[in-house]
Amino acid sequence: MPCAHTADLPDAVQPRTPAGCEECLTKHPGSRWVQLRICLTCGHVGCCDSSPHRHATAHFDDSQHPIMRSFERGDDWRWCYVDKTMV
């Protein structure tokens, strides 16, 4: 079954912290991340689950914003946390 959450996404979203993971930059200076993800609801940029702090998943847990996509150059995949599927 396709993910219905894509219908609720805004047409475009701007990254709130284009330089990297929002929480790593503000709460964990010097922390490194493996890859970045951007929330397609609000533009939050967080580090992936392979990173020490897993801020992208923490953002979903706090906000319940369902879909994020890779914020890495050349990647265009999207993931729905609610449906646990690529969209």
Per-residue pLDDT of the chain (87 residues; tens, 9 = 90+): 679 999 989 999 999 999 999 999 999 999 999 999 999 999 999 999 999 999 999 999 999 999 999 999 999 999 999 999 999
Domain extent at residue 38: 15-86
pLDDT digits (tens, 9 = 90+) for 18-31: 999 999 999 999 99
Domain-located, residue 71: yes
Q: Give the global pTM.
A: 0.94
- What pLDDT score does 2 carry? 77
* CATH at residue 67: 3.30.40.10
Q: Which residues pair with 70 in a beta bridge?
A: 37
Question: Is position 5 within any domain?
Answer: no
User: Domain count of the chain?
Assistant: 1
Structure tokens at 50: 């392979």
Name the amino acid, one letter, at 25. Answer: L
Determine, yes or no, domain membership for 9. no
Answer whether residue 10 is part of any domain.
Answer: no
Direct distance between the N- and C-terminal alpha carbons of the chain, in angstroms, rounded to an integer = 11
- What was the pLDDT predicted at 1? 62
Maximum pairwise Cα distance, the chain: 42
Q: Is the dihedral of CA 9, 43, 27, 30 positive or negative?
A: positive
